[in-house]
A and B are shown apart, each in its own frame.
Chain A
């Protein structure tokens, strides 16, 4: 006889829709609640991002909600105790806000730059950035600088959109997909959905990655490249394409600057800049009219190749000619890069030609009528169905900016961008190249007390004048972003903040606010030393820390909170309002502009507040102009009120859906007081589906660009011409050469870096750290990746996920290990120029022979994250971070320079070189070990049973 099957009691259940926050993917979720307990979290079928599916983290959201690591109340470091001891006293929110307001008021009315405000896995940068701007400090950024700014910057300075969140492969039509350095990256679920689609249709999937796990596992072909060599590989592919004349002539002429003319006057000012007319338009040579003509115009017939003499007598060459000269050089022939890349020359040549075949012989044609930006009508859209995606494996090298540009170069040569089957843009992208937004660099405004910045702290410099430096060339930002050291640091350098603030270089901070960033552990380089810096006292000011006041906002008891002077506890994502805005990092898909919200689903059971509420409160108390009425009263009641009523420009606010008084307008319209309700009614997201004629070639699609200009995605309707050759880079290079009419660096180190690394065409150079360490002594590359079930996750060691992985191992190639006499589960020492660690080994086939790697952020400090002190995360898990320095190895006669990409300031996590050897018998357990975190006031409310039996419906069953 069959047993009785207990079905759900649907009458006792409530179903609500919101947005996941377990990573940057931000999927739509359908949450079933029963008696204020979370019964089930599943993907929302109607949501454009995840279409009903959900990853392991998303489903484990239940255990995040019931994590015993949740902070419960505001905490103040106990007077008389030292920072880092972790001894706290509970205070009320009123007290906490008063303390913080007083401190911030003082800073703002004297020297606003003394506040640093940096955010981690934050999904509200539009608000945090606005807050910093209104405060008047340039010292704000999110974690992009140590995440993937190389990808963002390379894309935005080359094609107008980018890998990362501003584009996605067109899985519906792609027939060939080349994935570079992608482990588990945003957007994780869409990539999984897409790979299956591609393979189901018989498309080919090739992966370039030193490690074969995750997505790479299912690739049809694996190219186990040596870390940091991707740019060389890409340029070799360009070599092959050029050699076999496999490029899209029409695309290059129409949509890129390949035909623009570059001045050739080495050693003279203006060398390497575009030949321009009196209106500053770049010029081309028209082979029909036989004249120099405006390269932005529509009725031109440009020469793609050639060298000409400008009317002023200067020699000029087309960009394409410069490219051919460079990349056809034998240096880039597959057989000449094979050894450096660690790949067979045959594979390099074949993959390039396979892509060419698919691009040119298997084109996709859709019968869609569209109009180009020059007014011509087309009766179809032609797609060259080769798509690419690239992420952190490219980004996290100090040559990543150029490597990523080289990948975009392949896409441009193939004419494979934003057409069917390509890598396509996601609204609000594409934008002008680079986007028309400059970082605030007016020193008078920056120094002015009680004055907002006139522009956001971050932006996209186009020339040395845009740098954020003083008259002597010194950085104005604490992280030295937009200084000569890292001129195009468009996401800031969060990884340098603690070091610079401790060294008072370029100046001292008073207060550092860190939101949701574990900068004392897995999100920082050089973890042990960074912890010491956080504890460092100022010898000049007895009793004061080098960083005098540290405020940490988090929902969980992380290693970072342990160093806070003031802890402000945040809520979980199921307990608050949020918006995922088009002004920020939206959830748009290529076919739809989209944004989303969260709203409280679960009742709060502790004395915590959403940080965005607290920011609105602080902004009101500090009387930021944007948050204050002319009469001085506060403008916004709370965060939801702010989201509805704040307008960045008339009609454009944080949420794009259901605007207008009656909620009938999309993308632009007056504030709608019922906007939140409309979102909730519509399952917490909004999607504006682009009509067919606005879906493709949006860099030159008139109908699309008209809408984009109207709603503020772009400034005006004009072609977005893709840039093989980047003139902004050349301007910086000229400054380095002393040939620039404008600011020039006075430090030799900076001059050399500009000359060397600011090549206007994509280039490859050995990663900076590797230029300085002895490769014989440190023979291995060392890297990390996040496992799929913890990727980008705020707290990953929750009860379910940690059962899958509670300890990380150091993986290495099996044959290599055997040669070295290393076996599975041996303990080894790993040493870099910066330090050493002890960890346990596992061998595998799918790792490039000269590479070792581990899963990041599994290792935890004892007592952190609600775990017992004996958790294997703490006793056997480890961080590679100890080995990575935030500074390059010292070089005689040179100041210490950041271990980052010299163009963008992207943290060079993966440039690390190490040596390994077997630990002595008896040497077991991970090393180094750290003091155990003490329990916090409020922790006593959590039971940590030896057996957990979660059942949201236990009340029904008993």
Chain B
């Protein structure tokens, strides 16, 4: 299996629901807690696995705003794993999820240097690197209802801009969607082979218009004729 996410940039409204749902689940999840620094102070900040950035394409008035959620891409060729000196970072053979063993990490930050996507954040309190687990503590939890065995970001996304599935299965919904919508990986030139894929904004629909050019407006007023229409 190769589990990962599809992010639909065509419908992501940038509401940060996925980011908070992620924070909420993982704060008390297997990798939690996720420290928040200066929670009531001048410059609040903290450990997050999923951040939403906002970009603008092109110039006014042809500009388009694109909301852009990013989390761990669970790369096939994950340099974050190969560079890790302690073996804390690893990629699971069975499903491709990249995880960090909190009991092994020495907090050297080196894996975060190797990650082009900014997926890894150091928790200063535990001294360990943390990152998206693809909610590994949800997706295999047999006691959760089947339809809830999904990453919490996917469960919550109000615009259904996130999908979760197995990219090894060509018939899975994620594989099909990526094929149909021209899904693409980020920064492919680095050859990390990220599992997560992004769906580009759709082209805008073309709607034909019919015009009935009339004479002068006074004419058209005269031309409006009553029809026999019964209520």
Binds A, one of B108-116, B139-147, B185-193: B139-147
Q: Give 1 or 0 for each of B109-128: 1 = CB within 8 Å of chain A CB.
A: 00000000000000011000
A944 close to B (CB within 8 Å):
yes
Q: Give 1 or 0 for each of B175-195: 1 = CB within 8 Å of chain A CB.
A: 000000000000000000000
Q: Are A43 and B155 in contact (CB under 8 A)?
A: yes
Within 8 A of A (CB), among B20-74: 20-21, 23-25, 27-30, 32-46, 48, 54, 56, 58-61, 63-67
Residue of A42, A189, A946 touching B158 (CB-CB under 8 A): A189
Known contacts A324-B221, A788-B16; A953 and B28 CB within 8 A of each other = yes
A536 close to B (CB within 8 Å):
no
- Give bound CA distance, A167 to B230, whole Å: 28
Q: Are A196 and B159 in contact (CB under 8 A)?
A: yes
- Give bound CA distance, A221 to B63, whole Å: 10
Q: Are B63 and A357 in contact (CB under 8 A)?
A: no
Q: Are B27 and A871 in contact (CB under 8 A)?
A: no
Known contacts A212-B65, A325-B221; A305 and B15 CB within 8 A of each other = no
Q: Give 1 or 0 for each of B188-231: 1 = CB within 8 Å of chain A CB.
A: 00000000000001101101111110100100110011111111
Q: Are A950 and B40 in contact (CB under 8 A)?
A: no
Min Cβ gap A707→B in Å is 23
Q: Are B27 and A951 in contact (CB under 8 A)?
A: yes
- Give bound CA distance, A41 to B152, whole Å: 10
Min Cβ gap A430→B in Å is 18
Min Cβ gap B81→A in Å is 13
Number of A-B contacts (CB under 8 A): 301
Known contacts A6-B30, A243-B220; A799 and B141 CB within 8 A of each other = no
Residue of A249, A845, A847, A871 touching B227 (CB-CB under 8 A): A249
- Give bound CA distance, A176 to B209, whole Å: 13
Q: Given the complex, which residues of B lie within 8 Å of A849, measured CB to CB?
A: 60
- Give bound CA distance, A250 to B20, whole Å: 49
Q: Are B226 and A305 in contact (CB under 8 A)?
A: yes
A39 close to B (CB within 8 Å):
yes
Q: Which residue of A lies closest to B228 (CB)?
A: A301
Q: Given the complex, which residues of A lie within 8 Å of B28, measured CB to CB?
A: 34, 39-40, 950-954
Q: Are B40 and A944 in contact (CB under 8 A)?
A: yes
Residue of A8, A59, A803 touching B44 (CB-CB under 8 A): A803
Q: Given the complex, which residues of B lie within 8 Å of A53, measured CB to CB?
A: 17, 155-158, 160
Known contacts A214-B14, A945-B39; A7 and B30 CB within 8 A of each other = yes
Q: Given the complex, which residues of B lie within 8 Å of A287, measured CB to CB?
A: 226, 228
Within 8 A of B (CB), among A136-193: 176, 184, 188-189, 192-193
Min Cβ gap A206→B in Å is 9
Residue of A5, A196, A304 touching B140 (CB-CB under 8 A): A5
- Give bound CA distance, A298 to B205, whole Å: 40
B173 close to A (CB within 8 Å):
no
- Give bound CA distance, A952 to B29, whole Å: 9
Q: Are B60 and A814 in contact (CB under 8 A)?
A: yes
Min Cβ gap B45→A in Å is 6
B11 close to A (CB within 8 Å):
yes
Within 8 A of A (CB), among B76-99: 90, 92, 99
Min Cβ gap A32→B in Å is 9
B166 close to A (CB within 8 Å):
no
Q: Which of B17, B40, B214 has the most chain A CB atoms inside 10 A of its CB? A: B40
B106 close to A (CB within 8 Å):
no
Residue of A7, A216, A243, A803 touching B214 (CB-CB under 8 A): A243
Residue of A5, A58, A199, A328 touching B217 (CB-CB under 8 A): A328
Q: Which residue of B lies closest to A212 (CB)?
A: B65
Min Cβ gap A446→B in Å is 43
Q: Give 1 or 0 for each of A38-64: 1 = CB within 8 Å of chain B CB.
A: 011111010000101111111110100
Q: Which of B19, B27, B102, B228 has the most chain A CB atoms inside 10 A of its CB? A: B27
A634 close to B (CB within 8 Å):
no
Q: Given the complex, which residues of B lie within 8 Å of A800, measured CB to CB?
A: 20, 23-24, 36, 46
Q: Given the complex, which residues of B lie within 8 Å of A10, measured CB to CB?
A: 143
- Give bound CA distance, A61 to B209, whole Å: 47
Residue of B12, B33, B104, B221 touching A950 (CB-CB under 8 A): B33
Within 8 A of B (CB), among A5-24: 5-8, 10
Q: Which residue of A lies closest to B37 (CB)?
A: A947
Q: Given the complex, which residues of B lie within 8 Å of A299, measured CB to CB?
A: 230-231
A374 close to B (CB within 8 Å):
yes
Known contacts A196-B159, A301-B229; A40 and B24 CB within 8 A of each other = yes
Known contacts A53-B157, A305-B226, A949-B125; A846 and B60 CB within 8 A of each other = yes
Min Cβ gap B217→A in Å is 5
A254 close to B (CB within 8 Å):
yes
Q: Given the complex, which residues of A lie within 8 Å of B56, measured CB to CB?
A: 844-846
B168 close to A (CB within 8 Å):
no
B161 close to A (CB within 8 Å):
yes
Q: Are B33 and A804 in contact (CB under 8 A)?
A: no
- Give bound CA distance, A954 to B125, whole Å: 15
A441 close to B (CB within 8 Å):
no
Q: Are B143 and A250 in contact (CB under 8 A)?
A: no
Known contacts A3-B101, A196-B159, A946-B38; A221 and B225 CB within 8 A of each other = no
Known contacts A299-B231, A846-B56; A60 and B20 CB within 8 A of each other = yes
- Give bound CA distance, A141 to B100, whole Å: 55
Q: Are B225 and A305 in contact (CB under 8 A)?
A: yes
A330 close to B (CB within 8 Å):
yes
Q: Are B39 and A815 in contact (CB under 8 A)?
A: no
Q: Given the complex, which residues of B lie within 8 Å of A202, measured CB to CB?
A: 205
Residue of A42, A68, A245, A789 touching B15 (CB-CB under 8 A): A789
Min Cβ gap A732→B in Å is 29
Q: Given the complex, which residues of A lie within 8 Å of B13, measured CB to CB?
A: 192, 195, 214-215, 217-218, 788
Q: Are B21 and A220 in contact (CB under 8 A)?
A: no
Within 8 A of B (CB), among A324-370: 324-325, 328-330, 350, 353-354, 356-358, 361
Residue of A7, A41, A204 touching B207 (CB-CB under 8 A): A204
Q: Are A254 and B32 in contact (CB under 8 A)?
A: no
Q: Are A357 and B208 in contact (CB under 8 A)?
A: yes
A253 close to B (CB within 8 Å):
yes
Q: Given the complex, which residues of A lie within 8 Å of B27, measured CB to CB?
A: 62, 950-952
Q: Are A41 and B24 in contact (CB under 8 A)?
A: yes
Q: Are A250 and B44 in contact (CB under 8 A)?
A: no
Min Cβ gap A700→B in Å is 9
Q: Given the complex, which residues of B lie within 8 Å of A813, measured CB to CB?
A: 60
Known contacts A43-B156, A196-B159, A196-B161; A324 and B224 CB within 8 A of each other = yes
Residue of B10, B44, B158, B209 touching A354 (CB-CB under 8 A): B209
Q: Are A193 and B63 in contact (CB under 8 A)?
A: no
A445 close to B (CB within 8 Å):
no
Q: Are A59 and B21 in contact (CB under 8 A)?
A: yes
Q: Are B226 and A303 in contact (CB under 8 A)?
A: yes
With A196-B161, A200-B11, A218-B13 already in contact, 14 other A-B pairs whose C-beta atoms are closer than 8 Å: A2-B92, A39-B28, A41-B24, A196-B11, A218-B10, A222-B63, A224-B61, A302-B229, A324-B224, A353-B210, A803-B44, A806-B43, A949-B34, A949-B125
A-B CB proximity, top 5 nearest: A845-B63, A353-B209, A192-B158, A217-B65, A3-B101
In the assembled complex, 17 residue pairs joining A and B whose CB atoms fall closer than 8 Å, in A order, are: A6-B30, A42-B156, A53-B17, A53-B160, A54-B156, A59-B20, A176-B207, A192-B158, A193-B160, A217-B54, A220-B202, A222-B61, A222-B63, A243-B214, A253-B229, A788-B14, A949-B34
Interface residues in chain B, defined as those with a beta carbon under 8 Å from any beta carbon in chain A = 8, 10-17, 19-21, 23-25, 27-30, 32-46, 48, 54, 56, 58-61, 63-67, 90, 92, 99-104, 124-125, 136-137, 140-141, 143, 147-148, 152, 155-161, 201-202, 204-205, 207-212, 214, 217, 220-221, 224-231
Interface residues in chain A, defined as those with a beta carbon under 8 Å from any beta carbon in chain B = 2-3, 5-8, 10, 34, 39-43, 45, 50, 52-60, 62, 68, 176, 184, 188-189, 192-193, 195-196, 199-200, 202-204, 212-218, 220-222, 224, 242-245, 249-250, 253-254, 287-288, 297-306, 324-325, 328-330, 350, 353-354, 356-358, 361, 374, 788-789, 799-804, 806, 813-815, 844-847, 849, 866-868, 870-872, 875, 944-954
